[in-house]
Structure 1
Amino acid sequence: MDSTIMSGKNHSILSEFILLGFGNLNGFNVIFFIVFLIIFLFTIIGNLLIIVLVSITPALQTPMYYLLSHLSFSDLLISTNILPNMLGSLLFGEEKMTFFGCITQFYFFSATTITECLILAVMSYDRYLAICNPLRYSSIMEVFCINLSAWPWLLGFTLNLSAVLPVSDFDFCADNVIDHFYCDLFPLQKLSCSDTSLVELDVFAFSMPIFIFPCGFIMVTYIYIFHAIFSMLSTTGKQKAFSTCSSHLLAVGTFYGTLIAKYMIPSKGNSLLINKFVSLLHTVFTPLINPIIYSLRTEAALDFLRP
């Protein structure tokens, strides 16, 4: 293994890792490289387009679309953090990454994942106010919208340090090969020759509330939303309300569905390939389909917002 070892604090630090990605795809590596390069470009263009349109279009300068632009920016960070290395491993069979680069990638991946969880929760609160308390919607969101969009970023980029800092202090022995297409907690734990049990407990204690509370909050808000919708007398009002919520529900279902599946599938044996595939859905396809989901519902949502 090409891994320069530096000593310090009685432990070793590998200078680089090798990401195997999807390995040899029986001669189809170039084809998959082209496919995922196109996906990457469409993801960048789609999310940038949402951010620009929200910024320059007066009709879209509402709290809902302001929060959507934050969701798009989070998707941009996920894609640009993960896909370039994955494309490199597809083209060359493997991708080398420095120790610092690997820890940095893990930091930004965990930070944007937490941020997106919280942004989706804030978006559900926005829909709750719009449907269940429309008379106070403008007064509340105009005052708190910026704060509500800032807190997910602040919490996402600070709370994840509870996992990143211990991982950065792991002891790594001789093996520096990561059988994945990006640096994540489980692959790094497998390579470490340290006792990672306390880190696992610490990560579990912090990560579960981070993911469960936003998910629970979204479920509670939609119980109230559906109750309000079914109480409406107007069929047209019900259709507009469902239309403005459906895009958010699809985004929530896609994000949490792939995230839950990713961490429920073991990262070893025959399950490793399945884990890679689910991780691919979470890191590559979710950022791609979010702009598609919301662009298909834009006109319906604007109709609901009009008096």
Structure 2
Amino acid sequence: MKSGNHTAVSEFVFQGFSSFHEYKLILFVVFLTLYFLTLAGNVIIVTIISIDRHLHTPMYFFLSVLSTSETVYTLVIVPRMLSSLIGLSQPISLAGCATQMFFFITLAINNCFLLTAMGYDRYVAICNPLRYMVLMNKRVCAQLVWGACSIGLLVAMVQISSVFRLPFCEREIGHYFCDIRPVMKLSCADTTLHDIINFIISSLVIVVPMGLVLISYILIISTILKIASAEGRKKAFATCASHLTVVIIHYGCASIAYLKPKSENTRDQDQLISVTYTVFTPLLNPVVYTLRNKEVKDAFQRVIGKKPLA
């Protein structure tokens, strides 16, 4: 229990990037540019997939859902972060903080399990190509998306009820959004049990989907290596390259952020790590899936009229 006289607080104030005060204008311009690119890129991807019938497949259905989720994910965090960089940040109520944390956790976990569903889709496409449309029918795809969303909602409710049951006696959050660890640091109660619960949940929602993706790719690579022709192997690897790139960066950032000891990094280091998965990672989908994916590039050219519709 933290000692001293405390008055229960009803709102929080973000300290944001106070340690980088002299660079705030530069950070604002950089983050605003990346934010617009993220929004534009994800909207373009969703639009192309919905318009072009060549992309009406399970793989691109999952990609459109992931792009939509990433768009909402950035809307929850980035606008308030940008306003704080130019001095327009306002205090956030406990209810507002809980709401932001709820959507952040829900969407972050949803994205993790959507990537797992996409890994399973690639496994079926390469390892069971003749049964692909049977195993990955519309009902199965919808169930996988609903399952990913349900897990996110359930975990978020558990986390929110655990964190906001604590009494808070400090109001300055050493972060730019309501993440779990920075908020728990404001409590005047012993948070040891809550820290353990948070670590266990974080481990499960990162390690389990990451493990499932790893198993999928072990089976995929095993199957690809059995393909006789070099051209066939190259084509099979190409269908997985974009997804695998996003998976490695996504789970890598999440592992660094939530599976490291809480005292290992300084506040500034924690913020810089958080920037990678709240600002840079959401930009991965439009960048990777447009620059490295021939089908999406061809569909984009068809949509803008530079290629004839087949």
What is the rounded CA distance, in whole Å, between the counterparts of 1:73 and 1:163 in structure 2?
23
How far residue 271 of structure 1 moved from its aligned partner, in angstroms, is: 2.1
Give the root-mean-square deviation of aligned CA atoms.
Answer: 2.1
1:187 maps to 182
Confirm or deny: 8 A CA contact 1:78 1:109 kept in the other structure.
Answer: yes
Residues 85-107 of structure 1 show CA distances to partners (whole Å, capped at 9, x for unaligned) of 11011111855212111111111
Q: 1:155 aligns with which of 130, 151, 154?
A: 151
**Is 2:29 the counterpart of 1:29?**
no
4+ residue runs of structure 1 moved beyond 6 angstroms?
Answer: none
Structure 1 window deviating more from structure 2 (38-47 vs 204-213): it is 204-213
1:280 maps to 275
Q: 1:111 aligns with which of 86, 92, 106?
A: 106
Q: 1:245 aligns with which of 230, 233, 240?
A: 240
* Matched letter for residue 95 of structure 2: F
What are the within-5 Å matches in structure 2 for residues 204-243 of structure 1?
Answer: 204-243=199-238
Confirm or deny: 8 A CA contact 1:162 1:202 kept in the other structure.
Answer: no
What is the rounded CA distance, in whole Å, between the counterparts of 1:101 and 1:121 in structure 2?
31
Q: 2:287 aligns with which of 262, 284, 292?
A: 292
Q: Find the residue that maps to 2:111 and give its secondary structure.
A: helix
What are the within-5 Å matches in structure 2 for residues 102-141 of structure 1?
Answer: 102-141=97-136
How far residue 48 of structure 1 moved from its aligned partner, in angstroms, is: 1.2
How far residue 131 of structure 1 moved from its aligned partner, in angstroms, is: 0.4
2:46 maps to 51
What is the rounded CA distance, in whole Å, between the counterparts of 2:155 and 2:83 in structure 1?
30
Q: Percent identity?
A: 38
Confirm or deny: 8 A CA contact 2:206 2:255 kept in the other structure.
Answer: no
What are the within-5 Å matches in structure 2 for residues 60-75 of structure 1?
Answer: 60-75=55-70
2:194 maps to 199
The number of residues matched between the two structures is 292
Q: Which has the higher contact order (CA 8 A, sep 6+)?
A: 2
Structure 1 window deviating more from structure 2 (205-214 vs 48-57): it is 205-214
What is the rounded CA distance, in whole Å, between the counterparts of 2:21 and 2:152 in structure 1?
39
Confirm or deny: 8 A CA contact 2:13 2:173 kept in the other structure.
Answer: yes
Q: Find the residue that maps to 1:21 and give its secondary structure.
A: coil
How far residue 160 of structure 1 moved from its aligned partner, in angstroms, is: 2.0
What is the rounded CA distance, in whole Å, between the counterparts of 2:90 and 2:254 in structure 1?
24
How far residue 154 of structure 1 moved from its aligned partner, in angstroms, is: 1.5
Structure 2: gaps (5+ residues): 1-5, 299-310
Q: Find the residue that maps to 1:28 and give its secondary structure.
A: helix
What is the rounded CA distance, in whole Å, between the counterparts of 1:149 and 1:99 in structure 2?
30
How far residue 270 of structure 1 moved from its aligned partner, in angstroms, is: 5.9
Q: Find the residue that maps to 1:55 and give its secondary structure.
A: helix
Residues 215-265 of structure 1 show CA distances to partners (whole Å, capped at 9, x for unaligned) of 111111100000111110121111111111011111111111111111245
2:82 maps to 87
What is the rounded CA distance, in whole Å, between the counterparts of 1:147 and 1:266 in structure 2?
35
Q: 1:171 aligns with which of 161, 167, 170?
A: 167
Confirm or deny: 8 A CA contact 2:19 2:268 kept in the other structure.
Answer: no
Structure 1 window deviating more from structure 2 (144-153 vs 117-126): it is 144-153
Confirm or deny: 8 A CA contact 1:21 1:181 kept in the other structure.
Answer: yes
Residues 271-299 of structure 1 show CA distances to partners (whole Å, capped at 9, x for unaligned) of 22111111100111000122110112332
| TM-score, structure 1 normalization | 0.89
How far residue 163 of structure 1 moved from its aligned partner, in angstroms, is: 1.0
Structure 1: gaps (5+ residues): 1-10
What is the rounded CA distance, in whole Å, between the counterparts of 2:144 and 2:126 in structure 1?
18
Confirm or deny: 8 A CA contact 1:67 1:119 kept in the other structure.
Answer: yes
Structure 1 window deviating more from structure 2 (85-94 vs 237-246): it is 85-94
| TM-score, structure 2 normalization | 0.88
Residues 169-224 of structure 1 show CA distances to partners (whole Å, capped at 9, x for unaligned) of 11011x20011111111111111012222222333333322221111111111000
1:7 maps to none
